[in-house]
Amino acid sequence: MKRTKEKYELIFIDNASNDGTVSYLRSITGAKLILNKQNKGFAGGANQGLAAARGKYITLLNNDTVVTEGWLTRMLWWLGKDRSIGIVGPRSNKVLKSQRIDRVNFKSIDEIESFSKIWSEEHDKDGYCTDRLSGFCMVFHRKLVQKIGGMDERFHIGNSEDIDFCIRTMISGKTLWVANDVYVHHFGGSTFTINNEDHQQLLMNNRKLLGEKWNTSTPTELLPIVERERPFNVSRHYVSYK
């Protein structure tokens, strides 16, 4: 993978695409490819990847992203620097407010790379804690998944499964960290558009499910949930992913 110097295991999850994607993925030497006959959604696909992964660290990365030079190196640095960090996420353009950089408008991949290089140099080794991270790009230790489990597949096709994953991470005693020195471009919502999904309706439905799961009428306020649910209880909080 360009712009990634670490040794990595590349796992692709294809959720029943019909646009020629499978042929392309099969052409990538050394990649592991899991083909689904039906769309299992983000949570289902992510869980397949988590079960298949063998590395010490795991990265979840959406298909509508462009990574930049040094992105993984910097995110792994944060996990190594502070053992209290459970998940690291980058800055981006189309993402949760806590990670978003506004007013970025690129016309080419080269422009993305140029912006990222300057941004990373200006914010080198700068980061901050947050109460939620977007699932479009997450890096975490395998031990986290062994402790809290995977993505909750009740949140089909997508939305809120990443927030639920964050809630359980915080309940387990780990923090969520934004690597302010990393920019990963996100086109955002591409899969929903291709599959003719009503993104706003999915968001509303799954937010309701999130509130029901955590017994709250305000599922956007995460810290009260975390404080109420601690300590981590395997029988209540763990989500099987195999």
pLDDT at 36 over 90: yes
Q: Taking every pair of C-alpha atoms in the chain, what is the biggest distance, in angstroms?
A: 49
pTM: 0.94
Q: Provide, rounded to the nearest whole percent, the portion of the chain with pLDDT above 70.
A: 96
For residues 183 and 116, the answer to whether their CB atoms sit within 8 Å is yes
Report residue 197's pLDDT band, with 50, 70 and 90 as the boundaries. low
| Mean pLDDT for all residues in the chain | 94
Q: Is 222 helix (H, G, I), strand (E, B) or coil?
A: coil
Domains and CATH numbers, the chain: 56-232 (3.90.550.10)
Q: When comparing pLDDT for 107 and 161, which is higher?
A: 161
Across 165-172, average pLDDT: 98
For residues 79 and 141, the answer to whether their CB atoms sit within 8 Å is yes
Report residue 188's pLDDT band, with 50, 70 and 90 as the boundaries. confident
The CA–CA distances, whole Å, from 7 to 34, 55, 73, 172, 201 equal 21, 10, 11, 29, 39
Across 183-200, average pLDDT: 70
pLDDT at 91 over 70: yes
For residues 175 and 85, the answer to whether their CB atoms sit within 8 Å is yes
Across 59-68, average pLDDT: 96
Q: So what's the pLDDT on residue 160?
A: 95
How far apart are alpha carbons 29 and 6 in whole angstroms?
17
pLDDT at 193 over 80: no
How far apart are alpha carbons 149 and 238 in whole angstroms?
5
